[in-house]
Homo-oligomer: A and B are copies of this chain.
Amino acid sequence: MGIFEETEALVKRAKVASRAVALLSTERKNAILLRMADELEAQKDAIQKANAKDMEAGQAAGLSSAVLDRLRLDDKRIKGMADGVREIEMLPDPVGEVSDMRRRPSGIMVGRMRVPIGLVGFIYESRPNVTSDAAALCFKSGNAVVLRGGSEAIHSNLAVADVISKAAQAEGAPEGGITIIPIADREAVASMLKLDHLIDIIIPRGGAAFIKYVTETSSIPVIKHDAGVCHVYVDKKADLAMAVEIAFNSKVQRPSVCNAAETLLVHKDVAQKFLPSMVERFAKADVEMVGCDKTRSLVSGVGEATEEDWYTEYLELKISIRVVESLDEAVDHLTKYGSAHTESIVTEDYAASGRFMAAVDSSSVMVNASTRFSDGGEYGLGAEIGISTQKLHARGPMGLNEMTCQKFIVLGSGQIRK
Contact = CB atoms under 8 A, between A and B. Distances in A.
Interface centre among A23, A102, A392 (most CB of B within 10 A): A392
A415 B369 contact: yes
B409 A357 contact: yes
Contact of A392 (B201, B379, B411): B201
A379 B104 contact: yes
Contacts of A364: 407-410
A254 B417 CA distance: 10
Interface in A213-255: 216, 219, 221, 239, 242, 245-246, 248-249, 253-254
B370 A408 contact: no
A106 interface: yes
Given A19-B335, A380-B110, A408-B396, A416 B362 contact: no
10 contacts: A96-B358, A110-B379, A118-B391, A253-B417, A364-B410, A367-B411, A368-B411, A369-B412, A392-B392, A397-B408
Contacts of A391: 117-118, 200-201, 405
A417 B406 CA distance: 34
Interface in A84-135: 96, 102, 104, 106, 108, 110, 113, 115, 117-118
Contacts of A397: 408
Task: Please give the count of copies of this chain that the complex contains.
Answer: 2
Interface of A: 19, 22-23, 96, 102, 104, 106, 108, 110, 113, 115, 117-118, 200-201, 216, 219, 221, 239, 242, 245-246, 248-249, 253-254, 335, 344, 357-359, 361-370, 372-374, 378-380, 390-393, 395-397, 405-417
